[in-house]
Amino acid sequence: MYSSHELVGVLGSNGAGKTTLLRAISRMLVSTGMVRFDGKTLTRMPAYKVVAEGICHCPEGRHLFRELTAEKNLRLGAYLRTNRDGIESDLERIFSPFPMLRVRRSQQAGMLSGGEQQMVAIGRALMGKPKLLMLDEPSVGLAIRLKATIFRCHR
C-alpha cells in the first residue's frame, strides 16, 4: 500500500526478492498472487498495459537501448503517452537535475558512463509521467552528489 507523494523503500539482503517484487508489479514476471493499483487488478495485464496504468519501472541493470542516443531513450519513455503535449518541457525537466544528459543527448547510450546510463534510465521512466515510479537500485554507479539529487526528485 502507498499513498500519493509517498516515497517507499524496500530493504533486503542480496537475493531477498526486491527485484522480483518490482518485476511482479510491472508484470515483467508472471507470478501468482494479486497486484492491485489505483482500484484496478493488474495481475493478468501485459507489461505495456501496466505502464499505461501509470506504473513505470526503472530496472536493475538499466536495460537501455544501447545503440540509440540518450535522447531517443528518454523519448521512448513517453511512447505510450496519449497526450503528446508537454513532452518537450518534460525533457527539459529531466535535464534540470541531470544537466550532463543535455550534454550527452546525441551520444549513443551504450557509450555513456555507468552513472550517465543510470540517469538516462531514471529519466526514461520519468518521461512516462508515472503515478508510481519504481526504481531498482537507483543509486548504483552514481556519484554521492547525484544520489542525493535522485532522492530529491520526487518532491
Q: List interacting residues with ligand ATP (CB under 6 A).
A: 12, 14-20, 60
Shortest distance, CB of residue 60 to Mg ion, whole angstroms?
Answer: 5
Nearer to ligand ATP, 13 or 106 (CB): 13
110 makes contact, choosing from ligand ATP, Mg ion, none, with CB < 5 to 8 Å by partner type, with: none
Nearer to Mg ion, 53 or 60 (CB): 60
Candidate residues 19, 69, 73, 117; the one interacting with Mg ion per rule CB under 5 A: 19
Residue numbers 34-53 binding Mg ion by CB under 5 A? none
Shortest distance, CB of residue 86 to ligand ATP, whole angstroms?
Answer: 33
20 makes contact, choosing from ligand ATP, Mg ion, none, with CB < 5 to 8 Å by partner type, with: ligand ATP
Beta strands 36-37 and 55-58: pairing type?
A: unpaired
Shortest distance, CB of residue 45 to ligand ATP, whole angstroms?
Answer: 20
∠ CA 133-114-139, rounded to 5°: 40
Nearer to ligand ATP, 46 or 61 (CB): 61
Q: Are 66 and 73 in contact (CB under 8 A)?
A: no
List of residues contacting Mg ion (CB under 5 A) = 18-19, 60
